[in-house]
Amino acid sequence: MIKFKPAALFSLLAGVILSLGSLTVVANHDSDESIVERISSVGRICIEGESCKAPVAKVIEVAAGPKTGEEVYASGCAACHDSGAAGAPKFGDVAAWSPRIDKGIEKLFSNAWYGYKSMPAKGMCKRCSEDEIKDAVIHLVDSSK
Ligand code: HEC
């Protein structure tokens, strides 16, 4: 018959607890926050008064493949164009967009792609394709006429 000595039982229990502990650490390492930490870009825009952490859902969205103009807008451009940060013409602001629209859509595409004054190249969406940026410009412009 097998007999457990109290000391042996104790170290067995301690072993179980320790391995549970390391399991928790592994799980934490793969949490959304740590993924975001690892895949987020070096530069990040922080708006005064708001949390500087990138929203988890949005970062994962950007990493997941081709997006519609609306999705690209929501996951990147909105950071400036919703609030008017850095002097960005606001989404839906007809007066602010009208002189820009007069430049012609091709000019707006190229300014969004290469950058223009305080408007960063590709609106800082490094992974975005030319089509995604164009669709985002169309979404922005069509909603601001
Ligand atoms: C870091 C803030 C920021 C982000 C992010 C940003 N923009 Fe802008 N954007 C600006 C600012 C500021 C201007 C105004 C530049 C100026 O005229 O001085 C601007 C202007 C523009 C213009 C007008 C350019 C022109 O020729 O008048 C377009 C089009 C535009 N943005 C598209 C986008 C798109 C599409 C995205 C997302 C992919 C985006 N922006 C993301 C700040 C931003």
* Model confidence, pTM: 0.67
Q: Using the mean position of ligand 1's atoms as its centre, give its distance from the Cα of residue 40 in Å.
A: 21
pLDDT in tens, 14-70: 545 544 444 444 445 556 566 556 655 556 666 777 766 655 555 555 556 689 999
Domain-wise residue ranges, the chain: 7-37, 64-145
Q: Can you count the helices (H) and strands (E) in the chain?
A: 8, 0
Q: Which of 68, 81, 113 to mutate to test the pocket of ligand 1 (most atoms within 8 A of CB)?
A: 81
If you search the block for the tokens 């069509």, which residue do you land on?
Answer: 142
CATH number of the domain at 64-145, out of 3.30.1340.30, 1.10.3720.10, 1.10.760.10, 3.40.50.12280? 1.10.760.10
Q: Which tokens go with 101?
A: 């629209």
Pocket of ligand 1 (CB under 6 A): 45, 72, 76-77, 79-81, 85-89, 100, 103, 107-108, 111-112, 116-120, 123-125, 133, 136-137, 140
